[in-house]
Amino acid sequence: MLDCRGPLAVALERRARIRAALTQAKARGFDTRRLKVDLAAINAEIRQLQADTLSPSGSVSPSHPTH
């Protein structure tokens, strides 16, 4: 089945699932290193998606300031 949600919505849902799994793992005394890595990766992905959403389409910021 095709997912009609946007990439940001999918990433936010994945983050919620990772957070829930992390909470459960901590409560059960399990190793949480891998979940923490996954959470950091999805947070970075969400930040990038939000930045892409906020920037005008097709615009590229200069690599160095011009005077």
12-66 confidence digits (pLDDT tens):
999 999 999 999 999 999 999 999 999 999 999 999 999 998 876 655 555 545 5
Contact 48, 6 (CB under 8 A): no
User: Using CA atoms, how far apart are residues 7 and 50, in angstroms rounded to an integer?
Assistant: 10
pLDDT for 40: 98
- Token couple for 48: 């990038």
Q: Given this model, what pLDDT does residue 62 score? A: 52
pTM check: above 0.75: no
Confidence of residue 5 (pLDDT cuts 50, 70, 90): confident
Return d(Cα 12, Cα 47) in angstroms, integer.
11
